[in-house]
Amino acid sequence: MFKIIKTFVTILLISSCASHDRMLMTDFEMTSQESWTMKVQTASNYKPNDEQAEEIRINWLTQFTQENKCSGFEITSRVWTKSPTDNFIQTGFSESVGKLVYKGICN
């Protein structure tokens, strides 16, 4: 029983953190009625090429596009720019710190 409760609490905490992180780590803009850009900060817990982190980012993108009246979307480009790692205060020497820029269109 304890294991089930622990698993449930862990899932709840992760999902609430991801929801909170969406507002802190992203910048979404409709660039026209049919196109958009989403900029996302990457970090050690949201690595640019991590499958779970990408799933979360796609979920954020789905939420943003739905909020902006897109019935669906297509990603036309995805570019990651790594931040310099020589500033420990800014990056903690993480190789994952940077910015992902997604561009796409509404379907």
Q: Angle 74-57-21 (CA atoms, 0-180°, nearest 5)?
A: 145
State whether residue 11 is helix, strand or coil: helix
Three-state DSSP at 100 gives: strand
Cβ contacts of residue 18 below 8 Å, gap of 6+? Answer: 56, 59, 60
pLDDT tens-digit profile of 44-91?
A: 889 999 999 999 999 999 999 999 999 999 999 999 998 776 655 555
CA distance 53 to 47: 6
Pick from 60, 92, 90, 88: nearest CA to 75: 60
pLDDT in tens, 29-46: 999 999 999 999 998 889
pLDDT attached to residue 89: 58
By residue range, what is the domain housing residue 60? 2-106
pLDDT band for position 27 (50/70/90)? Answer: very high
User: Of 5-14, 22-31, 37-46, 92-101, which gets the smallest average pLDDT?
Assistant: 5-14
Instruction: Provide the number of structural domains found in the chain.
Output: 1
Q: Where are the beta strands (DSSP E) in the chain?
A: 26-30, 35-42, 73-82, 98-106
